[in-house]
Every structure is written in C-alpha cells, then in structure tokens.
Amino acid sequence: MLRVIKAEIKDSDQIAKCTRRAYADEIKKYSNNQMENEYPLKEEVEEVISKYNYYKIILNEKIIGGVFLVQKNDKTVCIEDFCIDPEYQNKGYGTKVLIKLETMNKHIKTWTLVTPTYSIGNQYLYKKLGYKEVGIGKQDGIEVVKFKKEICAYGENISLEFAQLKDKKLIYDMLVSPEVKNLMFDENHPEPSWEEFDEEPDSLFSGVLNEEGNYLLIKVDGEVIGTVSYAFNSGKLKSAELDIWISSTRNLGKGYGTEAIKLVIEFVHSNYGIKTFIIRPWIKNNNAIKAYEKCGFKEIEVFDPSDFYSEEEVDEYGEGDYGVDETVNLIYEIE
C-alpha cells in the first residue's frame, strides 16, 4: 500500500539515502556530469523537515522517497526534491504521489516545480499530469525546466484543471467517443469533424484563467473523464454559456457531471460576478437535461437569442446546435 504522510525528524536519514540514490541514478542516466552526488545530507533533510511541509513516501511500511512543499502564497506552492528510490521507479508511484499531494492540499490552486533539462523521465511525468512548461532557467548551476499547473477547482469527487492546447484533440476525441456520441449526435445532427472542432479558439485552451472562457478537464483520481467549458456571451444579459461531455458510459450516472457544473458556476461567479448561466442541450438527451435541472437550471419559456448573443452571434448561435425545435434552453440564476 502506498502512503504519503508528513515526515518526522527521525525519518531524515532514510529520506536522505533515497534522495541521494535517486539523484545519483538520474545523473548517471541522463547527465554528462560525473560528479559524486552527496546531496542531501541527513542534517539538511532534518532542517527542511523542521521548516516546510515535508512528506515521506511509504510503500508497505518502507520509506521509498520524499517530497516537500514550499508555500509561495495562500494558493501557490513549489514542489521541491521529489524523489523516489530508483528501485521503485517506473511503477506508477510518482503519478500516485503527485495526485495524493493535490488531494491532501485542496486549497492550493497553483503548483510549480523545476526539474533538470536532462531529466527526461520527470518531464514526461509532469506533462502527463497537466503541468505546463513555462521556461528554462538555472538553479545551483544546473539548467532546469520550469513547470506550472493551474487547478480551477476541487470537488468532493473530481477536480477541474485548465485545459491546454495539447488537450484539444483529447477533448475532441471525448466528444465523438463511440460510447456516448449517440447522446449528442445522429444522422440529422452529425458530430463535427476534427477540422471543424479545431476552429475553436486556442485561447480557450490556454492552461490558465482566460477572459474569454476556458475548457476544463474533469479528472477523477488523476484520470481525465470528460470536459466542461464556459464562455462569456455578448447579449443584453451578462451571462456565461456552459457545455459538458463525459467520454465513457462507465462514468455516467455517478454525479461527476453535476458536480462539475456546480463547481464551474461557483468558480465563474466568484471570479467574474456572473449570475446568469445558460446551457442548451439536445431535447433527446433526457439524462443530461435531468442532471442540469438537478443543478438548478430551468427551461426558458420564451427564449430570446438577443438576450444572450450579440447581433453578429444571433445568426450563428441563436437557434442552438439542434435547431429551434430540438434545442432545450435552460437557465440558472444566482439570486
């Protein structure tokens, strides 16, 4: 069983040994620098444990690594000295540790770290988990890659992460997943081609808070299961339009979509003061409509597109994706 718990001073020697072995193995594999690695000493780990949130990584009651967090502000931390003993690497433990850290620190919205440019394995791991490369620098004389990850919101069962441009194709593939596409498309309303979806503005996949709106990845235990998006409309009302899809039937009916919608509404309202939200599903997607109504959405009796869209947008979006007769217009108002 893998556990991540707060380290104590008595753990410093074992953590130091794991860290030295990990760094030495990394240098041997990836670096031309053949210097002896003596970092960190036991005393150095003791000092860090006393100053920061240091976690020991335990597998079946044995310490196999460690990591500590440096608090930059109330919502930002930097991950430091994340190491797993080489004997236990490439077994998926690194992924599980980082996911556990996020779950244990749900107040943190921005995660940062650096890793040596020669550490290809670490870079792959961080990118896989949604970290975005934001620059190159030097630390202690070593060239490093800087990474950042932005969390939009945490729920009880899910987290929402800002999608990046690299996620655009993944989001499209989830939209047209054979398991669920019949819930949104048929012969009269065919799914968009990749070329059509690729016309979605890249700004919505910025990986950070964006003034036009964002696509967000819905994650459960680190696995991407769907997406939810919000975009701001330019009509008479100040509003945001939502859209959501889950990629697999095994993740439907578990409340993930409902939780995602509620988190997005709370996030957009908190950051932009928006009180009016609309969502416009297909009339045949009964389960989705029920889920939206569970979130508090109500059908608009008389839908006036100009309330939500500019004159230019009305022609394109006014009738909805399914036309006037098959688009259900739902609204949620924060009082």
Q: Write the pLDDT tens digit of every residue in 105-121.
A: 999 999 999 999 988 88
Mean pLDDT for the stretch of residues 147-151: 97
Query: For the chain, what is the mean pLDDT?
Result: 94
The residue count for the chain: 335
**Domain end point (choices 93, 124, 151):** 151
The pLDDT, as a whole number, for residue 141 is: 84
Predicted confidence band of residue 288 (pLDDT cuts 50, 70, 90): very high
0.75 surpassed by pTM:
yes
Residue 212 vs residues 158, 200, 320, 334: alpha-carbon distances, Å:
24, 12, 20, 21
Mean pLDDT for the stretch of residues 12-38: 79
Range of the domain at 323: 155-333
Say how far apart CA 80 and CA 13 lie, in whole Å. Answer: 18
Q: Please indicate, yes or no, whether residues 117 and 80 belong to a single structural domain of this protein.
A: yes
Which amino acid is it at 118? Y
Residue 125 predicted with pLDDT over 90 = yes
Residue 204 predicted with pLDDT over 60 = yes
Residue 210 predicted with pLDDT over 60 = yes
**Contact (CB, 8 A) for 185 and 179:** no
Predicted confidence band of residue 30 (pLDDT cuts 50, 70, 90): low
In the chain, the N- to C-terminal Cα span, in Å, equals 47
Residue 36 predicted with pLDDT over 80 = no
Q: Please indicate, yes or no, whether residues 114 and 197 belong to a single structural domain of this protein.
A: no
The pLDDT, as a whole number, for residue 80 is: 96
Residue 34 predicted with pLDDT over 80 = no
Say how far apart CA 279 and CA 173 lie, in whole Å. Answer: 21
Predicted confidence band of residue 305 (pLDDT cuts 50, 70, 90): very high
CATH number at residue 236: 3.40.630.30
Q: Please indicate, yes or no, whether residues 104 and 181 belong to a single structural domain of this protein.
A: no
Residue 263 predicted with pLDDT over 90 = yes
Q: Give long-range contacts, CB 8 A cutoff, 24+ apart: 79-85.
A: 79/111, 79/112, 79/113, 80/52, 80/113, 81/19, 81/40, 81/48, 82/113, 82/122, 83/18, 83/19, 83/22, 83/23, 84/18, 84/22, 84/57, 85/18, 85/21, 85/22
Mean pLDDT for the stretch of residues 132-136: 96
Residue 218 predicted with pLDDT over 90 = yes
The pLDDT, as a whole number, for residue 38 is: 76
**In the structure encoding, which two tokens stand for residue 230, read together?**
């919000």
Residue 173 predicted with pLDDT over 90 = yes
**Contact (CB, 8 A) for 58 and 2:** yes
Say how far apart CA 37 and CA 34 lie, in whole Å. Answer: 9
Q: How many domains does the chain have?
A: 2
**Contact (CB, 8 A) for 111 and 98:** no
Mean pLDDT for the stretch of residues 84-100: 95
Picking from 266, 270, 272, 284, the residue whose alpha carbon sits closest to that of residue 327 is 284
Instruction: Name the helix (H) or strand (E) containing 288.
Output: helix 286-294
**Domain end point (choices 128, 151, 174):** 151
